[in-house]
Every structure is written in structure tokens, then in C-alpha cells.
Amino acid sequence: MDFMNIYVGRLPRAITEAKIKELFEQYGEVTKINLIKDKLTGMIKGFAFVDMPDNDSAQAAINALNGVDYEGQRLVVSEARPKEDRPRMGGGNRFGGGDRRPSRFNNNRF
């Protein structure tokens, strides 16, 4: 059995996992939905990942749903790419992140 992880972007803010499952189950079995939310606010970020265990069903869902207008949003649906390692950007906060160079706010002359 093949497995495909699908990226779904441009989702409306009022979307739920149940609605996403209903949308994709038209094309085959859905084993997992990961609706991405902001860690601080809990608000939906507008994208999700859907796991379908059958590659043919997943490809059918991608072909049928990519570019479709769903609740006023034009969906972007494609095979998910592996997460790439990205360099971490310094946060510059008082807890140690960010740039270590002296600045006018961080006078390290003493």
C-alpha cells in the first residue's frame, strides 16, 4: 500500500478537520489530518496536511481539488514536500537569541 501526504493551502479560516475530511473522502480513505494553527493564538493558519494511504486516490484528490473555489478561497492542493532544514534566525530577545554585537541599546563597554 502506497502512502501520500498532501499539502492543502489557502483554506478559509473557518475550516475544520471534519470539513477537510469530508472534502477528501470523496476520493478515498483519509487516515490523518493535520490542520496547522498558530501556537500562540490557536488561530488556523490557512493550510493543512492530509494523509491518504492509497497513492492513486491521493493523486485523484490532488487533480480534482487543486484550484477549486472552496468557500471563497481558491485551494492549492499538491503532494507535500519534505520539511527542509532552514537556518534558525536570531530572535534578538533578552533571553539570548539573536545578534551578539553591541548596539546602542546593549552597551557592552564595561
For 77-90, write each residue's pLDDT tens digit: 999 998 776 566 65
Span 19-72, pLDDT tens digits: 999 999 999 999 999 999 999 999 999 999 999 999 999 999 999 999 999 999
Could you tell me where the DSSP H helices lie in the chain?
17-24, 55-65
Model pLDDT, residue 57? 97
Domain architecture of the chain: domains with CATH: 4-79 (3.30.70.330)
- Model confidence band, residue 104 (pLDDT cutoffs 50, 70, 90): low
Model pLDDT, residue 96? 52
Q: Which of left, alpha, beta for 20 (phi over 0: left; psi -120 to 50: alpha)?
A: alpha
Burial of 46 (0-12, 13-18, 19+ CB in 10 A): middle
Model pLDDT, residue 106? 55
Quote the pTM value.
0.75
Taking Cα atoms as reference points, which of 106, 85, 107 lies closest to residue 97?
A: 106
